[in-house]
Structure 1
Amino acid sequence: MPAATRLRTRLTAGSRRLQLSALPIGQCAVAAGVAWFAATEVIGHARPFFAPIAAVISLGISLGSRLRRTVELVIGVSLGVLVGDALISVIGSGPWQIVLVVALAMAAAVFTDGATLLVGQAGASAVLVATLLPPGGAAGFDRCIDALVGGAVALAVAAVIPSDPVGPVRRESRVLLDELAAVLADTAESLRRRDAEAASAALARARASQPLIDELRAALRGGHEVTRVSPLLRRQRRPLRRYEELAKRADYAMRNARVLVRRAYTALCDDEPSAPELADVVSELATAVRALTAQLGRDGDRELAREPVIDVVRHARELARAITPGPSEVVIVAQARSIALDLLQGTGMSRQEALHAMRDDGPDRD
């Protein structure tokens, strides 16, 4: 790739990241300034550096677990300050005292909860007390107040200047569904070309999809938190619930896809014969997933994506009737039907409604 092309690609990716993070960055900046103002002008602390630090840490760049981060931050600072102040006032300050104070503060944090932020803040606050703050003074308590002010300001800013709770969820849903469609399309092509190596690559791709599922779940947690904190966005709870169901079904569909791809790979390695139409069914399933992806966020939601899924079920049924399926073909068709069931439920149908939509009058009844 030419250097100019690489540069353009990096600039485009950087601009995209900046665009997606603009609001969280703005939230952090505003919260830091307001926290400093509140701690200095309202409470009267001289240099309340913990207040803006707490505000920025509580908000972070990404959504998700802000309430928990705030609580962990305040508890961690309090533990570190209390343990450090109590010990330093007795044993004095020095290298071995720092070792002891930090170890005990972090041990107390682990015993209390064990969360990473809580433990880290306890250790950092203990270092602060052991090196900078006079033992037995009020400065340690002031730092706890500053942390509380920063956390409270962060939550207030998140409520008044809320992030979009649905946008990141929709974006991560599309990424996951695109990956599911790509896995199915690659599998169909491997069956069509009888290429075991291509099937192996598709299987590796399917197995590597777990981080995408985790990202979607994190986006959902962040979206729900925004709607809890900000009264302006309570109406977004309903679409988030729909995406929550979609996330669950997409996860199941990807699990079923792994089984499908693994069986296709085994069949190709063992040189099992298969009907050419089998690849078409898997390819149509990939197209049905793309149809569902295309409907995300549109009015009328995902109902328009149901017909392509039902077409896949009908074609799979016709294939099973037209041939005497081998063992791998039976598994692949069964997994295609399972994925179809997941997709229909992802469009908002109940399990019974989806099963009813997949039935016909023939002998192949669910």
Structure 2
Amino acid sequence: MTVAGRARARLALGGRRLRASALPIVQCGLAAGLAWFVAADLVGHARPFFAPIAAVISLGVSLGSRLRRAGELVVGVSLGVLVGDLLISWIGTGVWQIALVVMLAVAAAVFTDGGTLIVAQAGASAVLVATLLPPGDTGGIDRCVDALIGGTVGVLVVAVLPSHPLGPVRRQARHALDELSAVLFGIADALRARDEQAASAALSRARASQPIVDDLRAAVRSGREVTTVAPGRRPHRAELTRFSELAERVDYAFRNTRVLARRALAALQDDEPAVDALPDAVTQLATAVRRLADEVRGGHREQARDAILELVHEAPILAEAGDLGMSEQVMVAQLRSIAIDLLQATGLTRREAVAALRAEL
């Protein structure tokens, strides 16, 4: 790709990210301005700089737990201010005083909860008290109030101007399934061409998949949080529960795929034979995952069930294990496990998925 082509691709990617984050960006801006207005004009604080900061941190542009972040923010600031005010009023300010105050504030935060945001805000607030606020100044207490105002405003903005709880979940689910499909296609190609490097690449890609699954789980948690604070979004709770189950099934499918990739690589390294039907079965399963990804995007994952069963039915090797070698048997067992994971991802229970698979074999 040329330099101009890469530049256009980066611009296009940036544009997609910007469109996807448009509403969270608006939420952050409104929350920051509203938090300043409440703290400065309604409460009467002279320089409530921490209110808009708290609002932005409690919201965040990326997915995550807003309610927990807001709580951690207030707790962290309160701990930092409490420790800082108590100590600085006794020992004054200076190099060793700052070091001592920060260590004690962070230690208190770790003892209290240990959350990353609590620890960071406790340390930062202690530094501000030790360096900017004179002993006995009431600004430290005001900053605790500002943090509470900012966190509360952030949550209220989400309630009044909520994002769609299912949009990010569907995008992340499609991304995870597309990645699973790509790994399976890579394994099939490696087995078919007896290419150790390709098998190694597929295994490396499978091992790097966990953050994708974690992002899907984070999207589900964020969606549930939106339905908690925004009453109008509560009808989506049932669908979010189904996506939570899908996330678990996708995680299991990736785990089984990693085992499949490891066994495929070992078989190629040991020059073990592989029947032609094996890579074909992996390809068919990868195609089934792709079909599931397409249906998830449209919100109709149940419609992929028949396609998965049909593809399983067209892979007779999944029912034959007696004449296969050890590595082939292991790989077939993993393919069956992945098929069960996929059927559960369409909404079946494990017992129903096993029964449906046996009926097709």
In 1, are the aligned partners of 2:284 and 2:315 still within 8 Å (CA)? Answer: no
Task: Give the ranges of 4+ consecutive aligned residues of structure 1 lying more than 6 Å apart after TM superposition.
Answer: none
Query: Could you tell me which residue of structure 2 aligns to residue 307 of structure 1?
Result: 306
In 1, are the aligned partners of 2:281 and 2:317 still within 8 Å (CA)? Answer: no
Alignment of 1:256-275 (within 5 A): 256-275=256-275
Whole-Å Cα distance in 1 between the matches of residues 99 and 329 of structure 2?
64
Alignment of 1:1-366 (within 5 A): 1-298=1-298, 301-317=300-316, 320-321=319-320, 324-360=323-359
Whole-Å Cα distance in 2 between the matches of residues 167 and 152 of structure 1?
25
In 1, are the aligned partners of 2:317 and 2:332 still within 8 Å (CA)? Answer: no
In 1, are the aligned partners of 2:278 and 2:317 still within 8 Å (CA)? Answer: no
Whole-Å Cα distance in 2 between the matches of residues 319 and 298 of structure 1?
30
Q: Deviations over 1:32-60 (max 9, x none)?
A: 11011101121111111111111111111
- Return the letter of the residue paired with 1:307: D
- Return the letter of the residue paired with 1:295: E
Q: Alpha-carbon deviation of 1:319?
A: 6.2
Q: Deviations over 1:170-219 (max 9, x none)?
A: 11111111111111111111111121221111111111111111111111
* TM-score, with structure 2 as normaliser: 0.96
In 2, are the aligned partners of 1:64 and 1:225 still within 8 Å (CA)? Answer: no
Q: Alpha-carbon deviation of 1:350?
A: 1.1
Q: Alpha-carbon deviation of 1:321?
A: 4.2
Whole-Å Cα distance in 2 between the matches of residues 196 and 320 of structure 1?
27
Is the partner of 2:289 in helix, strand or coil? helix
In 2, are the aligned partners of 1:75 and 1:118 still within 8 Å (CA)? Answer: yes
- Return the letter of the residue paired with 2:357: M
In 2, are the aligned partners of 1:296 and 1:302 still within 8 Å (CA)? Answer: yes
In 1, are the aligned partners of 2:256 and 2:334 still within 8 Å (CA)? Answer: yes
Distance 1:321 1:95, change over 3 A: closer
Q: Alpha-carbon deviation of 1:95?
A: 2.0
In 1, are the aligned partners of 2:304 and 2:346 still within 8 Å (CA)? Answer: yes
Q: Alpha-carbon deviation of 1:322?
A: 9.4
Whole-Å Cα distance in 1 between the matches of residues 245 and 340 of structure 2?
13
- Return the letter of the residue paired with 1:286: A
Q: Deviations over 1:232-255 (max 9, x none)?
A: 110111111111111111111111
Q: Percent identity over the alignment?
A: 63
CA RMSD for the aligned pairs? 1.6
Q: Deviations over 1:137-168 (max 9, x none)?
A: 32211111111111110110011111121111
Whole-Å Cα distance in 2 between the matches of residues 212 and 260 of structure 1?
19
Aligned residues: 361
Q: Alpha-carbon deviation of 1:314?
A: 2.4
* TM-score, with structure 1 as normaliser: 0.95
Q: Alpha-carbon deviation of 1:97?
A: 1.5
- Return the letter of the residue paired with 1:152: T
Whole-Å Cα distance in 2 between the matches of residues 124 and 130 of structure 1?
10
Distance 1:46 1:319, change over 3 A: closer
In 1, are the aligned partners of 2:343 and 2:353 still within 8 Å (CA)? Answer: yes
Whole-Å Cα distance in 2 between the matches of residues 278 and 268 of structure 1?
13
Instruction: Note the residue ranges of structure 1 that are not aligned, 5 or more in a row.
Output: none
Distance 1:204 1:112, change over 3 A: same
Whole-Å Cα distance in 2 between the matches of residues 201 and 304 of structure 1?
32
Distance 1:198 1:135, change over 3 A: same
Q: Alpha-carbon deviation of 1:320?
A: 4.6
Whole-Å Cα distance in 2 between the matches of residues 213 and 322 of structure 1?
31
Whole-Å Cα distance in 1 between the matches of residues 99 and 251 of structure 2?
46
Instruction: Note the residue ranges of structure 2 that are not aligned, 5 or more in a row.
Output: none
- Return the letter of the residue paired with 1:176: A
Q: Deviations over 1:303-357 (max 9, x none)?
A: 2211232133324445654972111221111111111111001000111211221
Is the partner of 2:281 in helix, strand or coil? helix
Q: Deviations over 1:112-160 (max 9, x none)?
A: 1111111111111111111222222322111111111111101100111
